Amino acid sequence: MDEQGARAFGFHGTWRDYAPIAFTNLLLTIVTLGIYRFWATTRTRRYLWSRTRFIDERLEWGGTGLELLIGFLLVILLFAVPLLFLQFGMQAMIFQGYVGEAMSLAALAFAMIFYLGGVARFRMLRYRLSRTWWHGIRGGADDKGWGYGWSYCWRYALATMAISLPIPWAMTSLWNQRWAAMSFGPFAFESDARAGPLFGRFLLFYLLPIVFVVLGFGLLRMIAGDGALLLMRPGEAPDPRLLFLFALFALLIYGSLGVVALIYYAKFFRVAIGGMALSTLDFRFDARSWDWLRLILGDIALVVLTLGIGLIFLSYRHWKFFVTHLDATGEIHLSELTQSTTRAPGQGEGLADAFDIGAI
């Protein structure tokens, strides 16, 4: 917090100020057949960063649209094109009868894509910190994320083999590893998020489908008795009761799973950000499940009621939500701030863009 007791982070933008930027970005992106979107992203970030206060100074975004374009083109050249040739090669091998070899190549390609997805998450954070300035100081990391990609793969592979129960451990340990590699100015981030507080909510999400399946079979037997499995006979129209039951349960399952997943992620961000520190600063994030639900419902209403045009305001809404609920306690002495010595990447988050990872 600052000396007046206000929150350490504050957002001072309005949707009315952002609207001209959003609509101009949309128009120029359409006119240029999508090419302008890299510069549109830069304009959006420049506005959002400049309206974000941390203690006594607003942030600055130092990235450019050209950096994002170069990063995207490099990913297309180095990764997307080889994967495209690999796909055609697998199809040719199948036609020639080498099905086993083709499946092995497919598994290798999937592993490569999964690995690059992990690297993309790391390099996205590294790039954004390197272009975020506060009091003339920026962040970054010397680590380029290749080792993090392997950690991402083996942790999620292990969690999958253990019927997905260790997913909270994988998420928190990867969060800690990613942030522990980052710094801002002369200070390194510390992250000590624990998975223990998350397991209760994760088990709720994990077991809910099983509960619905058991409940569904029970109701089906109540409706049709011992002939429940004969309600759909070949060549006959399905029983209307069965169709209604299927529709009802599909709605309940997808709706409830979405809400429970939201409850889990609300807790995850509070735990993850609450375990972070930078020098003498400790961070916290106080958005509760209800806050996230209102954000998502507001997004849906905005997009539906504007026939899709409201999509251009989602970045603004999400950034404002994040900053509004973010806080820090402790003191930071400006006299101790020196410029970061980490090497700043020369291009943007091309991998994250290609994998559609992250927002804003």
User: How do residues 21-72 score in pLDDT, each as one tens digit?
Assistant: 999 999 999 999 999 999 999 999 999 999 999 998 999 999 999 999 998 8
Average pLDDT over residues 136-146: 93
Average pLDDT over residues 216-245: 61
**pLDDT confidence band for 161 (50 / 70 / 90):** very high
Please say if the pLDDT value at position 1 is more than 60.
Answer: no
SS3 of residue 69 by DSSP: helix
Helix, strand, coil shares, percent, the chain, to 5: 65, 10, 25
CB 83 within 8 A of CB 109: yes
| pLDDT at res. 2 | 44
Please say if the pLDDT value at position 252 is more than 50.
Answer: yes
Please say if the pLDDT value at position 130 is more than 50.
Answer: yes
| Closest C-alpha to 289, from 257, 266, 323, 317 | 266
pTM: 0.89
Domain ranges of the chain: 194-274
Average pLDDT over residues 268-295: 96
The Cα 174–Cα 115 span in angstroms is: 13
| pLDDT at res. 189 | 97
Helix H or strand E encompassing 349: none
The Cα 213–Cα 229 span in angstroms is: 14
CB 193 within 8 A of CB 275: yes
Rounded to the nearest angstrom, the gap between the alpha carbon of residue 190 and the centroid of all alpha carbons in its chain is 21
